[in-house]
Amino acid sequence: MNHRARHVSESWSITEQRELDRLVRWALAEDVGRGDITTRALVPSAALGRARIIARQSCVVCGVRCVEAVFGQLERRVEVRPVVRDGDRVRAGATCVRIQGPARALLTGERTALNFLQRLSGIATFTWEFVRRVRRYRTVILDTRKTTPGWRNLEKYAVRCGGGRNHRQGLWDAVLIKDNHRRCWSQDGSSRTLADAVHVARRAYPGRTIEIEVDTLDELRDALNGRPDWILLDNMSLPELRKCVREVRGRVRLEASGG
């Protein structure tokens, strides 16, 4: 039994597809190398097979596209029939994908396909656990740039499948002023406020989202004078977060991170 997550985004860009194709090529080259010698030794080339991918535990499925991509690159005669779609929540024991075709290809590609499916489903499921806990509040779960190198688009897609939202894609699409930026900016010893940093960033990149990190309530008050789009409350305790929410009163978006 499975059901569709209500807030799944099924958008899949050409860029994401190209990244997936590239990652699949690398993954197959890494695992298969010059050939699957065990399968070649034991399995006749004409043998056909059928396989199912089954969920061992309840989860949010993500990576069905990856399974299709793996077998599509490995052997065109393999037929991949998804039973569920990315973003579906399934119970333990549910069949997620049915596969049939040359047995050699099924054996050679199974681990690579599962590596994609298991990792992305893990991210989607973990995201959904957080989303489920905060859904009665006006709170959303955002992702970060702390992604596996080369996997950013796929892992951010998994976050969407779990009901979370994508935040910054990279360093180019939004300004996030962190404490290290501020230290380098004011290393000449001059007195500069957080509001000044927001104003400088706004002049340099008008039209871009401006976010600034704060560590204390006083820093929050300083940053508010710059009228940023977001303020990041970094590593604060719950009582500190409550004070900051009361102070802001909805004037800017707040992000809580760390701890």
- State the pLDDT at residue 6: 42
Among the listed residues 153, 7, 175, 184, the one whose alpha carbon sits nearest the alpha carbon of residue 89: 7
Query: What is the mean pLDDT of the segment spanning 43-71?
Result: 97
Per residue in 92-123, pLDDT (tens digit) is 999 999 999 999 999 999 999 999 999 999 99
Which tokens in the block code for residue 220? 């929050």
Helical spans, DSSP H, in 75-169? 103-134, 152-161
pTM, full prediction: 0.90
Among the listed residues 153, 190, 67, the one whose alpha carbon sits nearest the alpha carbon of residue 118: 67
**What residues are labeled active site?**
111, 146, 178, 213, 234
The alpha carbon dihedral of 76, 124, 32, 29 has a sign of: positive
Per residue in 168-184, pLDDT (tens digit) is 999 999 999 999 998 88
87 conformational bin, left if phi > 0, alpha if psi -120 to 50, beta if neither: left
Which tokens in the block code for residue 183? 């230290």
pLDDT band at 17 (very low <50, low <70, confident <90, very high): confident
In percent, the amount of the chain with pLDDT more than 90 equals 86
Give the β-pairing of 88-90 and 59-60: antiparallel
